[in-house]
Amino acid sequence: MDDFEDPRDGAGTSRDDTTEQSSEFDASEQATSSNKSSTVDESQSIEDMLLEFDQQEGLIRDRSLLDPNHIVEEDRIVGRDKQLQEVTKMLRVALGDNRPPNLFLYGPSGTGKSLITKAVCKNISKICETRDIRFGTIEVNCQDLDTLGVAVYELSSRAADEADVAVEVPKHGVATKEKWDELYRIVNENFDSAVFVLDELDMLVGRRDKQDPAFSRLLYQLSRAGANNDLTAHISVVAISNDTKMMESVGSRALSSFTPEDVHFDDYDANQLQSILRRRQDAFYEGVLDEDVIPLAAAFAAQTHGDARKAIDLMRVAGELAEREGDESVREEHVREAQDKVEKNRVLEVVRGISTQKKLCLYATAAVASETDDESARSTTGYRVYQFLTDAIEADQYHQETYVNKMKEMTTYSLVDFERRSHGPSSGMFLEFQFGERPETILETLREDSRIDMVSPDEVSSVVKAQVRNET
């Protein structure tokens, strides 16, 4: 059966009956509503507005299906048969009360790494429950964890939540060893087998004065805990990263004890993204999605590294925009508006927290990318535009090496990526930056900084075009 013809779990709920019941009321009120609307809006209380919105007929039936982090049924997981089989086969030994191997799942953001891990662990947990095996999934996202001590406490907290017990050490004011001991205690007392899922592990860098990054020390400690009899439960560590080269930064001691099985996740293509969205279209009431909504949302997401999270998020935002506007369907214009909103919000979140100097580096590079056919920017050209910008606003000026390093730092925000290139012996080596979002969106967002807005966009564009023409 085609995806469109499969109304899962009441997905085909019709809105026609409700529409017919309300049509007579709408007709009688139409003549006076336009005259009253401004007065009513001004006098409405917050409670009145909330109740009015609550009574409105919405377009979205099940919002959980439009949450990229929601664990969906197996038949909604698309385009990842190979990875699903690999992860399942390696973790399934937990069903026999044995220790599964450690795993390293890597690939671009939004390609199903976390989704598949959660889905497999959820199924293992259900089966283990029938076999009287105490299985637990202890998951943390390392993006917002700044030190090893904080990470260990967070693991203890998640393990305690999973076991429905309390953490008996404070988050601050105690040594990291006490937090480790508490984690071991919780796991040993409550689980026979557990999988530690460390999402975005490469973001856990920790203190810069340490020889190894915090994620390396975390992997070492967890993978050695069983051998040292700190943990009596069988544990497996699933490390998840967007950085394909993360393991190169893992220290030799951690690498020898961690020894993971690698599972690679590549980008989704537009067809796979369409299939993903079609299997979630029952999040909406039947008949409210125009036929071009799913292909357009998939196409937008395919342009930015095939990110399924972005595709799902676009559908959600488009649906919410249509609801707020009181429209009866979700149309192409809602998806385009959602695309602009999602991109700008994401860029805003990043650039609000960076220094003016980093903004200048990013603005110069994005300005170059906006004038090239493939939306890429050479570091040499970007630096010359950066020099123009700093001169224009009389700001301090970095050396080219520092400019390049600042742009490399932007890769941690998934705003840019880079490759080392050479266009022949005479041109020398340079870095080529490519953007995860439209360069125009980045430029528009950065111009909200008053210092950058001092420079005319037309003047910047003229300088960029001249520099691009001079590239050899």
Tracing tokens 């038949």 back to the chain, one arrives at 75
- Strand 234-241 and strand 261-264: pairing? unpaired
Name the β-bridge partners of 106. 241, 264
Two structure tokens written together for 11: 């997905």
Instruction: Name the residue among 236, 466, 240, 455 with its Cα closest to residue 360.
Output: 455
268 is in an annotated binding site: yes
111 is in an annotated binding site: yes
Two structure tokens written together for 98: 């044995």
Q: How far is Cα 33 from Cα 70, in angstroms, rounded to an integer?
A: 40
Task: Give the number of other CB atoms < 10 A from CB of residue 235.
Answer: 22
217 is in an annotated binding site: no
Q: Under the phi-then-psi rule, with left for phi > 0, alpha for psi from -120 to 50, and beta for the rest, what region is 306?
A: left
51 is in an annotated binding site: no
Q: How far is Cα 439 from Cα 435, in angstroms, rounded to an integer?
A: 7
296 is in an annotated binding site: no
244 is in an annotated binding site: no
- The sign of the CA dihedral 76, 81, 84, 85 is positive
Task: Give the number of other CB atoms < 10 A from CB of residue 247.
Answer: 19
| DSSP assignment letter at 352 | T
Two structure tokens written together for 319: 């649906």
114 is in an annotated binding site: yes
Q: How far is Cα 377 from Cα 383, in angstroms, rounded to an integer?
A: 10
Listing DSSP states for 269-326 in one string gives: -HHHHHHHHHTTGGGBPTT-B-TTHHHHHHHHHHHTTT-HHHHHHHHHHHHHHHHHTT
Instruction: Name the residue among 122, 67, 61 with its Cα closest to residue 94.
Output: 122
Binding residues: 111-115, 268, 280
Binding residues for ATP: 111-115, 268, 280
